[in-house]
Amino acid sequence: MMPVTDKQIATELLAYEKMMVTAYAQTISETSCPELRQGFQQLLSHSIQNVAEIGQVMTASGWTAPRYALPDEVIQVAEQATQTNQNLQQAVTAWQAAEASAMKIEAERSAGQ
């Protein structure tokens, strides 16, 4: 059996930390407890920092080379983020209107009984 290399360990650690970033973000979005959310936000921040540090070690060791975004790519991602934000705002507004309508109908039903 071949020994595990430092590059393999770093690659596994990076994959694990990226997985934890995703898991923490999902948990934050699903919890309704402010204290729990705050705890997971701290864990998320720590994992994001770990990803950056592991990436720096891997780059400094020559195990990976960062790919820098081209200006057009940055513009495209910014436009997509803006569109996503607008779509989200529209969805929230529509949901709030539907919720208000449902509450009004329920109030009218209750008043009629």
On whether both 52 and 106 belong to a single domain, the answer is no
Model confidence over 2-35: pLDDT tens digits? 899 999 999 999 999 999 999 999 999 999 999 9
Put simply, whether the predicted model's pTM sits higher than 0.85 gets the answer no
Residues 60-102 pLDDT 10s: 999 998 888 999 999 999 999 999 999 999 999 999 999 999 9
Domain around 105: 70-112
Shared-domain flag, residues 5 and 45: yes
| Statement to judge: residues 95 and 41 lie in one domain | no
63 and 77 co-located in one domain: no
Q: What distance in Å separates the CA atoms of residue 27 and residue 40, rounded to the nearest whole number?
A: 7
Q: Are residues 21 and 44 in the same domain?
A: yes
d(Cα 58, Cα 53) in Å, to the nearest integer? 9
> Is there a single domain that holds both residue 10 and residue 50?
yes
Same domain for 80 and 98:
yes
Same domain, yes or no: 64 and 81:
no
Task: Read off the pLDDT band of 44 (50, 70, 90).
Answer: very high
Domain total of the chain: 2
